Amino acid sequence: MKQHKLPHKIFFSGIGGIGMSGLALILKKRGYDVFGSDAVSGNMTEKLLKMDIPVIIGQKKGNIDTAELLVISAAIKDDNPEIIEAKEKGIEIITRSELLGILMSEKKGIAIAGTHGKTTTSSMLSLVLEGAKMDPTVVIGGEVKNIGGNAKDGKGEYLVAEACEYERAFLDLHPFAAIITNIEEDHLDTYGDLEHILESFMQFVSQIENDGFLVISAWDSHLSEVTKNYQGKVITYGFHEGDFQAKNIKVKELHTYFDVEKYGKVIGELKIAIPGAHNILNALAVTATSLEVGVKFETIEKSLTKFMGAKRRFEIKGNKNGILVIDDYAHHPTEIQATLDGLESYYPGKKVWCVFQAHQYSRTKFLLLDFAKSFKKTDHVIIPEIYEARDSEEDKKAVSGEILAAEINKISNNAEYIKDFHSITEFLRQKAKSGDVIITIGAGPIYKVGEEFLK
């Protein structure tokens, strides 16, 4: 880390991103002079403007003006005019993850890492610590209804944050404690293969403070490899193995109920309003972590009962003519399958129209066959063109939405390629009937299909 004392005037390049905006809001509340830019306007830039944070749309020379520090997101490349200007003026440049590391060094950081489930787990833990009157600082990669957004500047000793592995950003963090939910092949444009992913997680684990602890899924075989040299306290969780286990699982009236067993003894029952086995595991991780930092089980129980989920994580968007519309951020094959399993448990027997937009040509190319196997539990899959993000021309030539739909049909014969959102919306208006469920899935703007349908 280049510095720990931040200057007063801080410019964020890419301020409209979910992670960047959260840090900007926290620093604004702390009295810093915060401003920034983004390529396009959106909901988050509008929110920042309402918080008296100036936002320039369009990134060009002259934007950074009198800034004393430039913070850049992972999407900002070296040829960005704001980076060029900062270098010319001798203005220091740090990444978003470096800034998060600075803020974490001032608190007891609890970092939530893993391929899937980071946002939901971070959100749950933040709510529990709030319920325990611990007033945590929170930086989350999604908007959480219970805390009113994606960030909160608390006065308590803990800082809860997602630890993103993309570009090895989480190696800028040295947390007091960490949760690792799972590890799978993802961000292969950064890592190349699973071996390099595991090496990066090993480094992350080694950076946990000596008096801290690590909470990991007992189900994930990769985690035993990652933690084999870790000398600190490890707490595990799972269904049939682990220090904490979920037992007697029941789904009733759109809620999931289960007993929590700690070291073989039932300590109470939890109730959550979001479906799926993966969310039971997320709640177990939060329970183990919360108890370790001194929260009573009764507080955990009350807090998780109130948890309404994060935006774009199995978010119910509305109901039109008896047709339920749901949106989910899942963008990896494992996440898609978990979301569809949860949907089936909450709405058994319903006809499901799944609209999936793949995120990144490179990810789709690497995981094409895994994506193709993900839709066996849905009636109809509609595939638009892939959402481009950090993709090369070579990636874009190698795969397409049409190719993905064809691969799905080889396995489950339930997919249809419809290139644009407007045509998908019209298709659903003609085909979906009362009692059906429409679910939009993907990390890009696919949620707009559901919103347009509801209009």
pLDDT in tens, 54-94: 999 998 898 998 899 999 987 788 889 999 999 999 999 99
Q: How is the beta sheet containing 158-162 ordered, strand by strand?
A: 149-152, 137-144, 158-162, 108-113, 177-180, 213-217, 233-238, 244-252, 255-262, 265-272
Per-residue tokens: 266:
């039932």
**Range of lowest pLDDT (317-326, 335-344, 368-377):** 335-344
pLDDT in tens, 253-287: 888 999 999 999 999 999 998 888 889 999 999 99
pLDDT of residue 310: 66
% pLDDT > 70, the chain: 96
Nearest Cα residue to 208 out of 132, 142, 302, 110: 110
Per the annotation, the verdict on 162 as an active-site residue is yes
Residue by residue, DSSP assigns 190-227 as: HHSSHHHHHHHHHHHHHTS-TT-EEEEETT-HHHHHHT
**Range of lowest pLDDT (11-20, 28-37, 179-188):** 179-188
Instruction: Establish whether domains 9-95 and 107-306 are of one fold.
Output: no
Question: What SS3 string covers 243-312?
Answer: CEEEEEEEEECCEEEEEEEECCEEEEEEEECCCCHHHHHHHHHHHHHHHHCCCCHHHHHHHHHHCCCECC
pLDDT of residue 2: 42
Report DSSP state, residue 32: -
pLDDT of residue 390: 75
pLDDT in tens, 20-34: 999 999 999 999 999
Say if CB 376 and CB 352 are below 8 A apart: no
Can you tell me the mean pLDDT for 8-20? Answer: 92
Per the annotation, the verdict on 118 as an active-site residue is yes
Nearest Cα residue to 112 out of 33, 188, 217, 184: 217
Can you tell me the mean pLDDT for 370-379? Answer: 92
Can you tell me the mean pLDDT for 169-173? Answer: 93
Report DSSP state, residue 387: B
| Catalytic hit among 162, 165, 261, 315 | 162
**358: number of Cβ within 10 Å:** 27
The fold of 107-306 is: UDP-N-acetylmuramoyl-L-alanine:D-glutamate ligase (3.40.1190)
pLDDT of residue 424: 97
CATH architecture of 315-454: Alpha-Beta Complex (3.90)
**Which residues, other chains included, contact 364 with Cβ-Cβ below 8 Å and sequence gap of 6+?**
358, 371, 386, 399, 404
| Catalytic hit among 45, 115, 119, 137 | 119
Per this entry, what is the length of the chain?
A: 455
161 has pLDDT over 60: yes
Q: Which helix (H) or strand (E) holds 315?
A: strand 315-320
**Domain residue ranges of the chain, discontinuous segments joined by +:** 9-95, 107-306, 315-454
What integer best gives the mean pLDDT of the chain? 91
Rounded to whole angstroms, the Cα distance separating 82 from 76 reads 9
Nearest Cα residue to 251 out of 280, 224, 219: 280
CATH architecture of 9-95: 3-Layer(aba) Sandwich (3.40)
Rounded to whole angstroms, the Cα distance separating 362 from 449 reads 24
| Catalytic hit among 28, 107, 108, 118 | 118
pLDDT of residue 276: 83
Per-residue tokens: 403:
């190719």
